[in-house]
Amino acid sequence: MKHLQLLFVVAATLLLLLAPAQAQEPVTITYWTDPALAQPISLPQFTELAEFETWQAQQFMEMHPHVTIEVRGLDWPDLATVVPTALAAGDPPDILKDYLGRTSGYGVEGVTVDLFGHLPQEDIDDLLPGLVQLYTIDGALHAMPTYFWNHAMIVNKALFDQAGLGDMVPVDDRDWTFDDFYAAATAIKAADIGVEFPYTLQVASEQGDYDFHAFIWGAGGEIWNPDCTTGFDDPKTLAGLEFVNQLYQEGLINSDATTAAYADQTNNLFTGKSAIMGGGMGVLNNTIGNAIKNGEVTVDMDPVIVTYPHAEGEVSGLGVGPSGFAVFDKGRSDYEMEWVVKFLLFLNSSESQVTYTQNNSQFPARASAGVPLEEDANYALTLSLIQERGTENLGLACPGFYEVRISQPPHWQAMFLGQETPQQALEALNAESEFILDM
Amino acid sequence: MAATAYKPSNSLLPGDEMLRRRYLAGRWLRYLALAFVVILALILLIPIVWMILGSFKIQRVALAYPPEIIPSNPVMDNWERLLIGRPSMRWLLNSLVVAGGIAIFGVITSTCAGYAFGKKDFPGRTIFFWMILMTMMLPRQIYIIPLFVLMKSLGWFNSYQGMIAPYIVYPFGVFLMRQYMQSIPDELLEAAKMDGASELQLFRHIVVPLSRPAIGAIAIFAFMAGWNDYLWQLVLATDELWLTLPVGVAKLTASGVGSIDIGVSMAGATFAVIPMLLIFLLFQNYFIKGITVGALKG
Amino acid sequence: MLQQFAARVWKGRWAYLFIAPAMIPFAIFTAYPLVQGLLLSFYKAGVNRDKWTYIGLKNYNNLLTRDPVFPTAIKNTFLFVLGVVPAAMVICLFVAVLIYPLSQRKQTFFRAAFYMPVVSAGVVLAMVWVYIYSQEYGLLNYLFETLGLLDLLNNGEKIGWLAQTNTALLSLAIVVLSWSLGQPLILFLAGLGAIPEPLYDAAKIDGANSWQAFWKITLPLLRPTMLFVLVVLTIAVFQVFVVVQLMTLGGPANATQTIVYRIWVTGIVGAKFGYGSAMAVILLAIVSVVAIVQFKLLDRQLT
C-alpha cells in the first residue's frame, strides 16, 4: 500500500516534470527588420545592419531553447522589394519591423494578423491611444507600434552666433513665422561666414519629403486630408509650395536639391555650407552626434530644435512617424502563434522599447516605457512641443500612400528647375493622385 | 579560319615615293587616332581608380572639395569594416560557386543547343530559338514571383542550386553559339559523316574542338552575368551566410537612414571587382583569338 | 502531310536531343514562370494572393491612356537606345580596327581598360559614378574647373550633372555606354582575327590603300559580327535600369524614367504586379519588333 502511494507520487511528479517538456516542440520564427537602428549610441559594439536585433533574438533563444529565430536585416531599398515579393509568393516572414507607411499597405491588403485577437489586453492598453488608432485598419490592429520618430527643424545656432545673428534663432519659444525664417535665412547667407545655402533639403527621392512638406503644413495646407483624399487642390498647399520655391529660387536652399542624397544634406550641415536642416531627435543625437565623434563636422556645432516656420495665424505641428511589428498571416498553428506572440511581446516589451529608443533617440509607444532620455533637454523639449503644437497628418495609413509619395519628387524637381509653376505642379499631382487612388 | 592574326603590312617596297608618302601620312593619322583611343581607355579607367582611392578615404575626405585625389591620410578603416567581422570570404565563395556554376551550365547548354540551331534542320527550330531569344528581351522582375513560388516548393531558398537554376540556359550564349556554328563550313561536318562518325562522335571530336574560342567567350560572359546578377540572389538568400559578394557589399554600405558611407562603399566595390579582374586577365587569351560569329560567310 | 511532318521530326531527332539540355531547364525555370508572370498582366494583383482578380485589358488601357509617366518612360528608353547603341558600335569598331595590329601585350592593356567597366558590377559602377557626377564634391566638376571648362560652359558655377533635365539623361547614357564597349570590342577583335590575310594582300596588289581596304574588305566581312552585336546591344540597352535606380530615381522631373524602372517602381515596390507585367509585355512587343527587323538583316547575311 505504501509502495503504491510512493509509486503514485513518483509517477505524478514525473508527469509534472515531463508535461512542460513535452509541450516544448521546436518552433522556428523568421524575423525581418529594417535598418532604423544605425550606430546605437550606448551599444557601440553593434555597427552593422541587424546586429542589435540578432543580439535580442539570441537572448530570447537562450531563455527558450526550443525556439529558433532567423533574423534578416533589410536595408531600405531591400525592404521595398524583398517583402512584397515574398508576400506575393506566399512566403512572408513571421514578424516584420518596418515603418507605418509600408506596414499599413500590407494591412489594407489584408495579409497581416489582427493583433487585437492575440495580444493581452494589458499590453494594448499600455500603447499610446493615438498610435493604436493609427494602427487600426478596418477594425484590425494590423501591427504593434513600437516607437515613433519626430520631425522638426535643426538649426546650427553656432553659425548664427558667429555672424552676430544669434537672436534671430527662436530659442525662447522655438517658433517662427515664414517672415522670421526668411529674414534669418537671408541674413545668414549675407553674413559671408561660408553659409551658401541656409536650408538644406533634397527632392531627389521621396526620402526627403518631410523636409519639404513641413512648409506646406506650416502654410496650413495638407498633402493628405484626414479622409485620405489628397490636399493638392488646397490653396494653402499652394501658398506653402510657393514659399519653398521662393527660397530655392533665391538661393536659400541648396542648389543641388534635385539630386542630393541624404549624405549631401548632412555634409552641407557638417561643413557649414548650410545652417538649418530638417530632422528630429534621431538626427540630433545619432546623425550629428556620431558625425562629431567621427570627425566629420568641420564647423562649430550647436544644434537646437525649433518647429518649422508657419504662415501668420497658423500653427506648425511636428511630423511624427511610428514604426511597428507586423505579424503576417501564414496559417500557423495555435502553438506556433503563441510563440510568435511571445517573441513579439519580448521584442516590444517596455524594457526593449527603452533600450531601443534610448539608442535611436526615438519615443516609445508604450506608456509604461516612460521618458527614456529624461536627462536630455532636447528630448523633453520635443515631447512638450508635440503636446503643445500637435502633430501633422503624414497620411501614412492611407491606401495609395507609397505611390502618391513617389509621384511627388518629379514635380518638386520640375518646379525648382523652372519647368513647372507651383500651380502647375499641384494640378499635375492632383490628377496623378486621382489616377493612383482610382486604380 | 585564319590561324595567324592579320598584321597590316609595313614592308612597302622602297622607292615607291607616292606610296611611301601616303604611308607616312597614314601613320601620323594612326598615331593621332591611337592617342585618342588611349585617352578613351584612360577615361574608362578613371571610375575604377577613383573607386580604389576612395576606399582609403574617411567620409570627410571623401566629401571634400576640391577633392584630395590621393588621400593625404589614407585609412584602412573601410577595409577593416568590410573584411573583419563580416563573412566576406564566404560571400566571395558563394559568388564564385554561383557564377562558376552558371558558366559551366551556360557552356554546356549553349554549345549543344547552338549546334542544333545553327547546323540542323528540324521542325520547331525557329520557334524554339525565338523562345530563348525572347527571354533576353524581358526584364527579370517579371518572373521573379512565380520563380520564387517554384523555389519555395523545391525548398531551394538559401542554396546554390536555387541561384543557378534560372540561369542554366544562357540565351546570349545560345545566340552566340548559333551564329558561331553557322560559320563552320558544312563540308567539314559532311566529311566527318562520310568517314562514318556517329552524331555524338561528330559533336565531340569535330564540333566542340572547333568551337573552343566561342566556348571560352561564353564561359566568361556567363560568369560575369552570374556574378553581376543582383535581384534574384538578393531575394533568394534570406540568410546572411548565403549572400553573394555584390549583394553583401551593397548591404554593408547602406548604413542607417538612407545615408551612404562612401569609403566603405568604395572598399566593397573594389573588393567585388578584384576577382573579376583577375579572372579576365587570366583567361582572356582563351577567347580573344577568333570568336568569329559567322564572319567567314559574309 | 502528317507523315511528312513525322518524317522531318524523325530526321531531326538528334537535334532534339541536342536542344534538350537547354530546353528542359528552360521550360521549368524560365518559360513556365515567365508565362505565369505575363498572365498576371490581366489581373489586379497585389501582395495578397487571395485577392488577385481578373480584369481583362484594364491594365493595358490604364497604361496606354491614363498613366502620366509611362509615355515619358518609353520615350526616354528609346533615347537611350538611339544614343548608346550607335555610339557603342562606332567606337568599338574604330577602336578594334586601330588596336588590332598592336602586339598582344599592348592589346591587353586596351582590352582590360575597355573590359574593366564590364567586369565591375553595374551596381558598383553606378555608385562610383554618382560620386563622380556630384555637383558639390564630384571629380568631374573638379576636372572641368581645372581645365577651365566650367568658366566656358557655366560661368564658373559647378554643374549639377544629374540635377538638370538637359544633362541627366546624357550623363546616364555615358555610364551605360562605358560598360557597353567591352563585349562588342572583344567580339570585333575576334571577328577581325578571322578575316583571311591573303584578302588584304590581294587588295594591296590591286593598289588599294588601307582606307579602301577597310571599306571593301574589313567592313563587309565584319558585318555578321556587327549585326550580332547590334541585336544584343539593342536588347540590353532597352532594359536600362540600374543606372536609373541608383543614380537618379527617374529624375529630375521624370527626365530619366525608363520602362524597366517603371516596372520596378510600380510593379515590384508599389506591389502592383499585374500592372508591372503589362508594362513588360509592352516592352517585349517593342523589343521583339526591333529585334526581328535587325534579325532579318542579320540572317540575310548568313543564309
pLDDT in tens, A111-130: 999 999 999 999 999 999 99
Question: Which position has the higher pLDDT, A119 or C192?
Answer: A119
| pLDDT number for residue B294 | 40
- Chain B residues with CB inside 8 Å of A75's CB? 250-251, 254
Q: Does B64 touch chain C (CB under 8 A)?
A: yes
Check C121 against B246: CB less than 8 A apart. yes
Q: ipTM beyond 0.90?
A: no
What's the gap in Å between the CA of B296 and the closest CA on chain C? 7
Higher pLDDT, A307 or C210: A307
CA distance C268 to chain B (A): 7
What CA–CA distance (Å, rounded) separates B22 from B44?
33
* Contacting residues of B for A76, CB less than 8 Å apart: 254, 258
- pLDDT, one tens digit per residue, over A328-370 is 999 899 999 999 999 999 999 999 999 988 888 899 999 999 9
Q: How far is B250 from chain A (nearest CA, A)?
A: 9
Q: What is the pLDDT of residues A193-230, one digit of tens each?
A: 999 999 999 998 888 889 999 999 999 999 999 999 99
Cell triple for A33: 527588420
Establish whether the linkage from the previous residue to A364 is cis, with ω within 30° of 0: no
**Among candidates C291, C299, C283, which has minimal Cα distance to C239?**
C283
Q: Is B118 on the interface with C (CB under 8 A)?
A: no
Test A294 with B59 for CB contact under 8 angstroms.
Answer: yes
- To the nearest whole Å, the CA of C18 is away from the closest chain A CA by 34
Query: Which residue does chain C place closest to B182, by CA atoms?
Result: C302
Q: List, in order of start, the domains of chain B with CATH numbers.
A: 17-78 (no CATH), 86-297 (1.10.3720.10)
Chain A: touching chains (3 or more CB pairs < 8 Å): B, C
Secondary structure of residue A156 in the 3-state scheme: strand
CB-neighbour burial class of residue C193 (10 A; exposed 0-12, middle 13-18, buried 19+): buried
Question: Into which CATH architecture does domain C54-302 fall?
Answer: Orthogonal Bundle (1.10)
Q: Pick the range with the lowest mean pLDDT from A346-355, B204-213, C204-213.
A: C204-213
Task: Specify whether the CB–CB gap between A261 and B265 falls below 8 A.
Answer: no
d(CA B89, CA A215): 48
> Which residues are bridge partners to C11 per DSSP?
none
Domains of chain A and any CATH numbers: 27-149+321-387 (3.40.190.10), 151-319+394-438 (3.40.190.10)
All three cell numbers of C130, joined, read: 554618382
At C95, the amino acid letter reads V
**Cα dihedral B85/B91/B93/B96 (nearest 10):** -150
CB nearest to C136's CB, from A80, A85, A264: A264
CB contact under 8 A, B259 and A266: yes
In whole angstroms, give the CA distance from residue A197 to residue A274.
5
Judging contacts by C-beta atoms under 8 Å, the chain C residues touching residue B109 are 21-22, 25
Contact A207 B258 (CB under 8 A): yes
CA angle C99, C100, C105 (to 5 degrees): 75
- Give the whole-angstrom CA distance, residue C257 versus residue C271: 18
Whether C116 and B48 lie within 8 Å, measured CB to CB: yes
pTM: 0.88
pLDDT tens readout for residues A53-101: 999 999 999 999 999 999 998 888 788 888 998 998 888 999 999 999 9
Q: Residues of B with CB below 8 A from A271's CB?
A: 63
pLDDT at residue A22, rounded to an integer: 53
B40-54: average pLDDT: 90
Min Cα separation A128/chain B (Å): 25
CB atoms within 10 A of CB A439: 16
Cell of C287: 523589343
The answer to whether the Cβ–Cβ distance between C18 and B120 falls below 8 Å is: yes
Element (H, E) at C158: none
Q: Nearest C-alpha of chain C: how many angstroms from B17?
A: 14
Burial class (CB in 10 A: 0-12, 13-18, 19+), B66: exposed
- Listed by start position, the domains of chain C span 54-302
Hey, what's the cell of B108?
Answer: 554546356
Q: How many CA atoms lie within 13 A of C288 on its CB side?
A: 13
- Probe site for chain A from C50, C136, C264 (most A CB atoms < 10 A): C136
Q: What does the mean pLDDT of chain A come to?
A: 90
What per-residue confidence (pLDDT) applies to A12? 60
CB C68 to CB A428 under 8 A? yes
In this predicted structure, the answer to whether residue C192 has a pLDDT above a threshold of 50 is: yes
User: What does the alpha-carbon distance between residue A257 and residue A277 come to, in Å, rounded to a whole number?
Assistant: 12
SS3 A392: strand
CB atoms under 10 Å from CB of B151, counted, come to 25
Cell of residue B175, nine digits: 545566340
